[in-house]
Amino acid sequence: MALLLISSQHDEETKPESGTSLLERVGKFNGLNIFFIETSGRSCLTARQACGVESAAKANPHASVTLYMEKTPIANLSSYKSNKDEVNCVVTKFLLHRIENVRILRQNLLDHLEGTPLWEFYRNGLFNKSTTPLVHRSDAIRVALLWKNGGIYLDLDCIVMRPLDSLNNTVGTVRDFIPNWIENGVMAFNAGHPFLHFLMKSMVLAFRPDNYLSLGPSAITEAILDFCDRDDLPANTLLICSRNSSLFIQPPDSFYAIGSGRADVFYHPETDPADRNKVKHSFLSHIYDSDLRLNVLLQAQSPIDVTVLRSLRSLILKSLDWYLS
C-alpha cells in the first residue's frame, strides 16, 4: 500500500490519495502518534532526515508517524540546486511509497498556532524579527501541535532504536550543559496537558529574536521550574506540578546519551565501550551535528553508531535501487 501524501502543492510524480483511502489509512494506525517538523519549505528531505523518520516508523510499526512539512519556502533560504538535491528527492520518494505507517502533511505550519497563546504573537509579526526563523518557528509549532493533538515530538536528527509507547508526559535532561537543562528535541505529552499551555504563554515572554534557544531548551527549562515550583530538575523524577498535573524527567541516557558537547563520538572509528553501553539502553539517539557530518558518517566504522550507519546506508541504497528499477 502506498504511503499517504497530503499536499496542496505536490510533485507531478506523487498524487494524494482519495478521501476514502485517507480514512482507511488513518483508521489503521489509531494508537501512538509520533511526529516530526520540517520548517524550511524545501520539497525534499535530506538522507539523514529520512533516516530519522524511517527509524521511528520501523521501531513503532503500529504507530502513526507524521512529518509536517512547511509548504511555503522561508524567505532568504538558498534556492541553489545540486546533484545532492536529486538524491535527496529520491530518498524522500522512497520514504513516501514504501513505509506504510508514515504520512507527510505539507501545510502552512504557522496556522497550527491559531487557538493557542502563540497566535497573537505570530499575528503581531514577531517571528519576522527572528535571526533564526526556522528554529523559532519549529520550537513554537511543535508545542502547539502537542497541545492540540498529543503524542511524541521528535527532532529530525533522532534515530529511534526502541518502541516509544511507554513515553507519556515526559521530557529529557542532558548531562553536558548547565545544571537542570531540559532539551526540547524529544517531548511526549497528552493533548491538552496544562504544562504545554503554560509553556506557550511563557514562550511569548521569553522570545529573544537574536537568541536561537529562547523558545527552545531555555524556555522549557524555565517553564518547568516555574510550573512545578522547583529549584532543580533531578533526572529520573516524577514532578507533581500545578493544576493536578505531573511531568517525568527522563535521565540523559534515554534520549541524549551522547550530548552535543561530545558529538564527535558518533564519527570516530573507535569509541569508549561505556558510550556504546549508554546508547544500547536508550530509546533513541539524538545525532548532533548530523547535517555537517553526513559524509563522514557514511564512511565511518564507528561501533557506537552502527545502528545509524546500517539504517542510513540501507535507506539510501534501497531508495536508489527502487528509483532505478
* More confident call, 324 vs 287: 287
Q: Is 106 helix (H, G, I), strand (E, B) or coil?
A: strand
Q: Does residue 312 carry a pLDDT above 60? A: no
CA distance 269 to 39: 33
Residue range 14-41, pLDDT digits in tens:
333 333 344 444 445 558 999 999 999 9
CA distance 282 to 320: 30
53: β partners: none
**Range in 57-66, 157-166, 240-249, 252-261 the model is least confident about:** 252-261
What are the b/e assignments for 174-187, b being 16+ CB within 10 Å? bbebeebbbbbbbb
* More confident call, 107 vs 279: 107
Residue range 67-117, pLDDT digits in tens:
999 998 875 554 545 555 656 788 788 777 788 999 999 999 999 999 999
- Ranked by mean pLDDT, which of 8-12, 158-162, 190-194, 257-261 comes out on top? 190-194
Confidence of residue 179 (pLDDT cuts 50, 70, 90): confident
For 28, list phi and psi in degrees, rounded to 5.
Answer: -70, -35
Computed over every residue of the chain, the mean pLDDT equals 80
Amino acid at 265: V
pTM: 0.82
Q: Does residue 239 carry a pLDDT above 90? A: yes
